[in-house]
């Protein structure tokens, strides 16, 4: 104790009792708390109450159903499940690797041949070439993949907004605020992904998707500015913004188009 | 000190025995040495169950979470880096898994405690000795509920330190190593947790010696 030569007060001693239960001093010497407890009946009674209360906290009370478990069987079952999962993952990956490399090379070669053949046979007029840059087959595939990924993110963003418009969980502090901590975390993840999509959607056809991504970004940024325990009014503002933009409906329409492979965006 | 023995019975392998050190054990798990993962599971499963229970407050969900987290740990064993203690690594995987479960369930821990108690209201009484005096049986059930609540309502970091010290009998230095934090942090968390548990039980007029004798 760092109280110098000064005697410790009862308050100082009682403050140290809980930790003393778990980390008692090595011996009685240099133990001002122990000396105080020997002299002060009130603190000694407090110390006895602390020991009684903490000693009474037993695992079977704190975790009442733990003793029902056959832990040896649980361990065996868990290890077996883990090994089965390991076997399911590794050989599959091995099989994939065995045929994926030659198949990938063959597909790339085929794409290259088609691309060369198209370039030799189809000569776009200078006007058309200036209006829409010919992306080639690989470029079209890439655009399609980017469009699908953007649509997925829009759907996830839509689900998040729908949840926020409905019934978020109330915060534990019981003051009527709503717990949106998880939704904020999710919106941060989505924002990172949206930035990637916006960089990969270059075609004129992707205008509607890009526009929705921009609006979604703005709404997610708004979610990010809210408190973890958000007041009902701040959520009302967000709901109003979602309603004004009719973004849920528009996302629905666009993602259906993309899923159907007929994006006319 | 609470006289509860260490809960995890670690089976001893015939060849070479169990690595006494958690890092050495984790290295063996990483190399998929025969029986190493079984020892890992046996060593950590109950500790992880208590952690999961703290999040989920539901027995079956906690067991499922522990099992699924241990499967994830096994599949990710090659990605473990010994900069952190194996328990720290395992507990983070489990904690993330529990948060996912809560996210899906959309119920916060404080609410699910009540739900769990509502789901099994007579659990304590059912487990009691039928010859026991009904009044005494009732006070035992009340005592159990108080203890369960006192531990369950601790903040996560305090609860974890309290559980490791009180029930697992780990030293403060071991806890600091396992959680990857300073000894002073462990002391302060433990102090706050123990004071909160004591105050809750004392305020409720719980006399542990009377309730358990």
Residue A36 in domain: yes
Decide if pLDDT at B40 tops 90.
Answer: yes
Residue A180 in domain: yes
For chain B, where are the alpha helices, taking DSSP H only? 22-30, 36-56, 59-75, 86-105, 109-119, 123-127, 134-152, 156-162, 172-179, 183-203, 208-212
Decide if pLDDT at B31 tops 60.
Answer: yes
Residues A107 and A184 in one domain: no
Query: Could you state, in order of their start, the residue ranges of all structural domains in chain B?
Result: 1-107, 122-213
Strands A169-170 and A229-230: unpaired
CATH topology identical between B1-107 and B122-213 = no
Lowest mean pLDDT among B22-26, B125-129, B203-207: B125-129
Residue B151 is nearest to which of A19, A57, A82, comparing CB atoms?
A: A57
| Percent with pLDDT over 70 in chain A | 71
For chain A, where are the alpha helices, taking DSSP H only? 10-22, 32-39, 41-55, 59-62, 71-121, 126-131, 136-165, 181-200, 207-225, 232-245, 247-259
- CATH class assigned to B122-213: mainly alpha
| Percent with pLDDT over 90 in chain B | 23
Residues A150 and A216 in one domain: yes
Residue A4 in domain: no
CATH topology of domain B1-107: Rna Polymerase Sigma Factor; Chain: A (1.10.1740)
Residue A236 in domain: yes
Decide if pLDDT at B194 tops 50.
Answer: yes
Q: What is the per-residue pLDDT across A200-218, written as a single tens digit (0 to 9) for each?
A: 666 656 777 877 888 888 7
Q: A118 vs chain B: nearest CA distance in angstroms?
A: 46
Residue B208 is nearest to which of A18, A55, A81, comparing CB atoms?
A: A55
Residues A146 and A251 in one domain: yes
Residues A89 and A49 in one domain: no
Residue A265 in domain: no
Average pLDDT on A114-129 reads 58
> How far, in Å, CA of A163 to CA of B106, rounded?
11
Decide if pLDDT at B213 tops 50.
Answer: no
In chain A, how many domains are there?
3
Lowest mean pLDDT among A32-41, A236-245, B147-156: A236-245
Query: Would the ipTM clear 0.90, i.e. be above it?
Result: no
Which carries the bigger pLDDT value, residue A88 or residue B79? B79
Per the structure, the complete domain to which residue A183 belongs is given by 139-259
Residue A21 is nearest to which of B50, B194, B201, comparing CB atoms?
A: B194
pTM: 0.51
Residues A48 and A20 in one domain: yes
Residues of B in contact with A57 (CB under 8 A): 2, 147, 150-151, 166, 197, 201, 208
Q: Do A53 and B202 make contact, defined as CB atoms within 8 angstroms?
A: yes
Residue A32 in domain: yes
Residues A254 and A172 in one domain: yes
Binding-face residues of B in 151-180 toward A, CB within 8 A: 151-152, 163, 165-167, 172
Q: Do A18 and B166 make contact, defined as CB atoms within 8 angstroms?
A: no
Residues A40 and A21 in one domain: yes
């Amino acid at each position: 104790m760092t109280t110098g030569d000064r005697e410790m007060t009862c308050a100082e001693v009682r403050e140290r009792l809980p930790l003393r239960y778990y980390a008692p001093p090595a011996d009685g010497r240099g133990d001002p708390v122990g000396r105080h407890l020997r002299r002060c009946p009130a603190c000694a009674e407090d110390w006895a109450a602390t020991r009684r209360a903490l000693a009474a906290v037993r695992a079977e009370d704190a975790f009442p159903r733990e003793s029902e478990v056959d832990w040896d069987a649980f361990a065996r079952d868990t290890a077996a499940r883990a090994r089965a999962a390991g076997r399911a993952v590794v050989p599959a990956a091995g099989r994939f690797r065995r045929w994926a490399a030659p198949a990938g090379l063959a597909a790339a070669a085929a794409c290259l041949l088609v691309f060369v053949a198209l370039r030799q046979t189809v000569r776009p007029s200078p006007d058309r070439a200036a209006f829409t840059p010919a992306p080639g087959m690989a470029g079209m595939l890439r655009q399609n993949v980017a469009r699908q990924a953007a649509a997925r993110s829009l759907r996830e963003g839509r689900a998040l907004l729908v949840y926020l418009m409905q019934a978020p969980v109330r915060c534990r502090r019981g003051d009527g605020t709503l717990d949106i901590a998880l939704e904020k975390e999710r919106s941060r993840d989505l924002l990172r992904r949206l930035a990637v999509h916006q960089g990969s959607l270059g075609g004129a056809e992707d205008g509607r998707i890009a526009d929705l991504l921009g609006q979604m970004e703005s709404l997610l940024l708004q979610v990010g500015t809210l408190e973890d325990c958000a007041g009902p009014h701040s959520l009302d503002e967000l709901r109003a913004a979602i309603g004004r933009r009719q973004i849920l409906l528009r996302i629905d329409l666009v993602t259906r188009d993309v899923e159907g492979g007929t994006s006319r965006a | 000190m609470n006289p509860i023995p260490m809960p995890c019975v670690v089976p001893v392998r015939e060849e070479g025995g169990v690595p006494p050190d958690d890092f050495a054990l984790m290295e063996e798990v990483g190399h998929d040495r025969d029986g190493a993962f079984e020892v890992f599971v046996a060593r950590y499963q109950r500790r992880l169950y208590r952690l999961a229970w703290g999040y989920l407050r539901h027995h079956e969900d906690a067991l499922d979470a522990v099992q699924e987290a241990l499967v994830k740990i096994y599949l990710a064993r090659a990605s473990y880096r010994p900069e952190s203690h194996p328990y720290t690594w395992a507990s983070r995987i489990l904690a993330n898994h529990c948060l996912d479960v809560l996210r899906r369930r959309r119920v916060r821990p404080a609410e699910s405690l009540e739900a769990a108690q509502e789901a099994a209201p007579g659990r304590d009484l059912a487990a009691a000795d039928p010859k026991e005096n009904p009044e005494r049986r009732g006070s035992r059930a009340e005592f159990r509920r108080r203890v369960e609540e006192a531990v369950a309502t601790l903040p996560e970091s305090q609860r974890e330190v309290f559980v490791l010290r009180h029930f697992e009998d780990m030293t403060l230095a071991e806890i600091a190593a396992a959680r990857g934090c300073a000894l002073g942090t462990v002391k302060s968390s433990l102090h706050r947790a123990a004071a909160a548990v004591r105050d809750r039980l004392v305020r409720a007029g719980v006399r542990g010696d009377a309730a358990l004798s």
